[in-house]
Chain A
């Protein structure tokens, strides 16, 4: 009961602030609502006992949105931005695509109830004391099961990072 109340609270906060992120005219306000949406998602992670994901979500987005803020403050002229056109003229296409997406999700949810073996699999909740320790489980899957993809991804990121430095710096 309490779990459900908390879940719907977080979910409502996440959805509402995600909508506000898009509709606010002031870019800094948008960024604030973006943080709120991400924090609410982190709350849902915590409720699912994924503590590691919860804290990584917070740490990464704190740093990430911090940089976003600095860009907003330094690059966007707020007085000009408020008077500009807020949305691009593609709303009909956007509406069509989002309706298609909503229909897909709705179909999945609907078929879960109606047809057994179809749609979203509903898993039984594991008892709390049987759950593997969180950060250990993440580390095991990253460094044992998926070691090669993980290393490839990190090399990719490193290459991008070096590329950014080379392009940004005038004299090396």
Chain B
């Protein structure tokens, strides 16, 4: 009897727990993406000195739900001459790949759907790159010139920037020595320094390449509305269009998580090993409490009763979150019984790990948005020149020099922060060589007649 129970438990743990986790994420992710879109619109409004969505719910907080309902009940149009099957398949493929990539990510030391994949990082990167098929097939199947040009641009962009991104990842993996996501973060804990600081050039390359891969501004050539209507999604409407949208934002979350894991220390807090900086653990609860207090202060100023109640609810949730965040830290202070502190350790790692991970991912995505509202769009030939003439040489030289620096570091027995002594000069030299290459390329390029139109296929 006991053996049967044991076996059942094992089966549930092995097969059903990841399944339930995955289903939860698939169910909740559209909501998260909806709110990321709302946050993006609010940030855009803030940067352009206006209010953004304000009508649906207090401060427009129910806008994503209204948008989702609108998208779901919109008419679903399939063009007469479209390839019906491929047209149906393409958005599904795009969103499926993005959601599958989420499975490999680790949000905390214990929270990962596909636990301990040996090739974790490659899995996330490779599977999320599959999403490009959705874009290309969708653009082809629509049987429209705008869509086709968008799809071709998208594939060219992916092939060009994937190389640079891959080289940047190689750079980070040199120091990690493993592809397993949990071990990568553990390696950063052992070094006591984030890999993003050790190799700033690789981080920068990945940042630029990841913007290009997710087709975000300033590299949103595949959907450039001033030239191509909406690029590959011109012919898509209603629910199919929203699937593409979901895939794009999920991909943003995926690349932000990859960058966080490899370059920003994953779920580790800043300075994870320095014990005298342990007070950093108190920052998250204080921050959340501050948000709650701010909400309480703003409550009397709200014009409508509903909005006041809503503000109070938000403040209450903030205080609850602050208590949850503070409890494990307080239990770990030296005044508490050590056995209790040991019991609180997994809770501390899980809760604070989750907080820092989500915090860093949010910061990365905020940076994406900031760039989108600041920089104008590139022209296609400029995009290709940036990729092939600058980023790819830079990342290849950087891999070479960082590798040499790592060997030298082992030779001089440098670890942790003192590794900076050797990796920073290597990065600077790599940057100088790449800029030199760029300069010679531009000098040898014959000046084209200024009136000639740039080749849109490039």
User: CB within 8 Å of B: which residues of A?
Assistant: 26, 28-29, 32, 35, 51-52, 54-56, 58-59, 62-63, 65-67, 69-70, 73-74, 133-135
Contact = CB atoms under 8 A, between A and B. Distances in A.
A71 B428 CA distance: 40
Contact of B126 (A26, A58, A69, A74): A58
Interface string B91-130: 0000000000000000000000000011100110111011
Interface in B133-162: 133, 136-137, 140, 148, 151-152, 155-156, 158-159, 162
Q: 10 tightest A-B contacts by CB? A: A59-B126, A134-B118, A55-B122, A58-B126, A51-B119, A51-B118, A55-B119, A55-B126, A62-B129, A66-B155
Nearest to A54: B119
A62 B93 CA distance: 13
B132 interface: yes
B29 interface: no
B136 A67 contact: no
A126 B45 CA distance: 59
A63 B163 CA distance: 11
B341 interface: no
17 contacts: A26-B83, A28-B140, A32-B89, A51-B123, A52-B119, A55-B126, A59-B122, A59-B129, A62-B132, A66-B155, A69-B155, A70-B152, A73-B148, A73-B152, A74-B152, A135-B118, A135-B179
A65 B159 CA distance: 11
B126 A32 contact: no
B149 to A, nearest CB: 11
A29 B85 CA distance: 10
A59 B151 CA distance: 19
A59 B166 CA distance: 11
Contacts of B127: 58
Interface of B: 83, 86, 89, 117-119, 122-123, 125-127, 129-130, 132-133, 136-137, 140, 148, 151-152, 155-156, 158-159, 162, 179
Contacts of A135: 118-119, 122, 179
Given A66-B136, A135-B118, 6 more contacts: A32-B89, A52-B119, A62-B126, A70-B155, A73-B148, A134-B118
Nearest to A26: B83
Given A28-B140, A52-B119, A135-B118, A58 B155 contact: no
Nearest to B156: A70
B113 to A, nearest CB: 15
Contacts of B159: 63, 66-67
Contacts of A32: 86, 89, 137
A67 B152 CA distance: 10
Contacts of B125: 59
Contacts of A51: 117-119, 123
Contacts of B122: 52, 55-56, 59, 135
Contacts of A29: 86
Given A51-B117, A69-B155, A133-B118, A58 B86 contact: no
B94 to A, nearest CB: 13
Contacts of B89: 32
Nearest to A171: B446
Given A32-B86, A55-B123, A73-B140, A62 B133 contact: yes
